[in-house]
Amino acid sequence: MIDKVKIVDTQILSDNWYLLRKITYEYVKKDGTKQIQSREAYDRGNGATILLYNEQQKTVILTRQFRLPTYVNGNSSGMLIETCAGLLDQDNPEDCIRRETEEETGYQIKDVRKVFEAYMSPGSVTEILYFFIAAYDKDMKVTDGGGLEQEEENIEVLEYPIEDAMNMITNGEIKDGKTIMLLQYIKLQGIL
């Protein structure tokens, strides 16, 4: 248990894309002694993600896009299947995910439901991710999706039966944490 955390020093190591800081802090341990530690924290802002599902068809909408960090860590193609997601920027989580859903998947969703929020990599990244689900049907498709060219997005929209998506977790085709969490949520809650 730690108590009385005090930030002693903060240094910006990089502000090229997002902020990487080295933070030195002091805290009081359970036995009353003080300890000083330094850690790096990557601040890329908070985000939101959503799983679109169709109850009648028992299908879900996912996306596929190139993710450089996976490529440099063993994903030979760099392509990752995942749920639609985006950074909040100046939005609240619900407005963000509505906008991102239309940009990335082409669906203009009606009712979104927040199901939980989580720190995804709390040892090094400050981000909180807000998780949503929403029903979709073909009538909600207003564009092809694919992301925004000015954001250099090149996103493929995918539709899978829920059982196929669950099997893709088991066989390693789906390796994205947020996607696995939302697919498991849909199954555990008996939504599909």
Binding site feature residues for Mg(2+): 85, 100, 104, 153
Per DSSP, what are the bridge partners of residue 116? 131
CA distance 81 to 4: 42
Q: 116: exposed, middle or buried (C-beta count within 10 Å: 0-12, 13-18, 19+)? A: exposed
Q: Could you tell me which residues are annotated as the binding site?
A: 85, 100, 104, 153
The residue with tokens 């859903």 is 101
Q: Are 183 and 168 in contact (CB under 8 A)?
A: no
- Cα distances (Å, whole numbers) of residue 109 to 105, 175, 190: 10, 26, 21
